[in-house]
Structure 1
Amino acid sequence: LREASLHLQGQIKELILTICDQAEKSSSYVMPGYTHLQRAQPVTFGHQLMAYAWMLLRDLGRMQDATARMDAECPLGSGALAGTTYPLDRFYTAQELGFAAPCGNSIDGVSDRDFCIELTSAMATCMMHLSRLSEEIILWCSWEFKFIELDDAFTTGSSIMPQKKNPDVTELIRGKTGRVYGDLNTLLVMMKGIPLAYDKDMQEDKEAVFDAVDTLELCLKTITPMLATMTPLPANMRRAAAKGFINATDCADYLTKKGMPFRDAYKCTGTMVGACIRADKTLEELTLDEFKQYSDLFEADIYDAIDLTHCCEGRTSYGGPTQASVLKQIADVKSKINC
């Protein structure tokens, strides 16, 4: 199990580095950021991808923690439950087997399955993140979004519809996530009512934990090259970002920086957006005279303030969507992997 955990950690690192490579290439590609699956504010594709790199970095940490606790206490010498009469140096045997020390209680030593549960919990959380990323990829490669193009090797056609290019790999990852959740639930339910010390119920731990390992290993092995060969389509991202008034918050911020209370700026901008929707216009298409009909605070610099690239580059807070921030995130994540 220790070897399996270390192998999975290596796969997660490889996936993170693949995401970082794609994020670096797309650190300036403006796209809509979403809340409630509604266009919300402009971000970059690189910034969006790096959100998953940070998630996976936490997954890596959880697996490392689980492995460290797995290595902390050696059960050898616990006997059936009451230790042994043989003159066994448990500290020596623990060291020889790669453990930090022997377990402190022989009953706990034979009845503990926390290491299985903790590692499977980390694997289930990692699968949850892979499922979320897979769902985004499914959306992004659909014609409704078309932000990316997947390599043919990771898609399938249809037996009837010749135009189809189905993202089967991501759909399978999304589906297999429930399988690993089931493995974790199996372990928790198995252990919840067992009295000390060993009971035959514990034999069921093998199937669950091995299945979780195999499933995550397979998903990591397939999603990494899929992301490496994925082609972003920045022109489509930009066109999508130009719709939905995702620069409205920046318009309200502009008024607030000019001295208008944000509550009033919010209301004013909302009124403008409503009028633009009725007139089938974007905020950028309003003339300065039309802007001034809503507030005399508007000047010619409003057009810079609501420019989509400026909207991203103006959000200079730590961890934000600027190109410099994305590149720093990439460097930070890589340094954490290599430390």
Structure 2
Amino acid sequence: MTMSLKSLFYCLPLLVVHFSLSASTAAAGKVSAIIVFGDSTVDAGNNNFIPTVAKANFPPYGRDFDGGVATGRFSNGRLVTDFLSEAFGLPPSVPAYLDPSCTIEQLSTGVSFASAGTGLDDLTAKIPSVIPLSQQLEYFVEYKERLKLAKGESVANKIIAEALYIFSIGTNDFIENYLALPLRPAQYTPPEYVAYLIALADAAVRAVYDLGARKMEFTGLAPFGCLPSARTLNHDEPGECNEEYNKLARRFNAELQEALRKLNGELAGAQVVYAETYSLASAIIASPSDYGFENAVQGCCGTGLIETSVLCGVDEPLTCQDADKYMFFDSVHPSERTYRIVADNLLNNALQVFL
């Protein structure tokens, strides 16, 4: 299958729905579109169309996506945002903005501007040469104009006002940038860097609000010290979660919640909700069998200890047969089944106000 045919395939609504989320029928019609900003947790394939090594448009990625297509999603199947789109009565997959085969009609019910490897800090995006959040916001401005041309200003404005905006970003600022390279640590102490990132998150929410957004969700960080790769690279306690990393995630989350509380008080007509994922991920890691998993320590791909992106190969003999048994698909990214659990949890908690 050529790249263009692949792109066309996954821009179309999926023909087969393998399961439904608990709120799917109740949510229909409450949200006009799912509009997404962020990193690899929500990149639907934008990195396929830029010169970067941070790609997932090859097997075994996508092997459980409808048709077995490697769309560029860093998972074996769909992402949280895809499941949320379906639950709100919209198409069961959110297309990538940069995919040239996706029409504005297809993008009018959902669009992802996200880019794997990016962060709130523009410096983070420069490391793997991906799309910074600032550029994602510029694409949103462009998207709005395209929507007005296609739908007329009144309809376009209604779509923008009633859409649900999802931010999923921040982990790479720590694992790719602050904890890996010397520049930011020379400028900021850990608390100062967290404060710097929170100011950028605040600015991003205000930017989309000024462009018409009213329903917004900002996802907190998961315990990234428990990623398989973080366990592997934990020199003090090999194989164990890096608790110093997890402390940074908790600090970021606490300050993000406070920032969002203030934004709700300042942005007239806006609802900005915090999506808590740290506790759920920690619960799965602590007792994977309670959630139907056999492994929450290794990824499905390869040895499961360090492989991600190009290091995950279809011919890797150690890659697991059933990704549903694994919390992680590679050493950094969750499996489709994990994303489904997270999506259902969000619908039953943070996103209840939009149902």
TM-score (norm 2): 0.23
Larger RCO of the pair (alpha carbons < 8 Å, separation 6+):
1
Higher helix share: 1
Which has the greater radius of gyration? 1
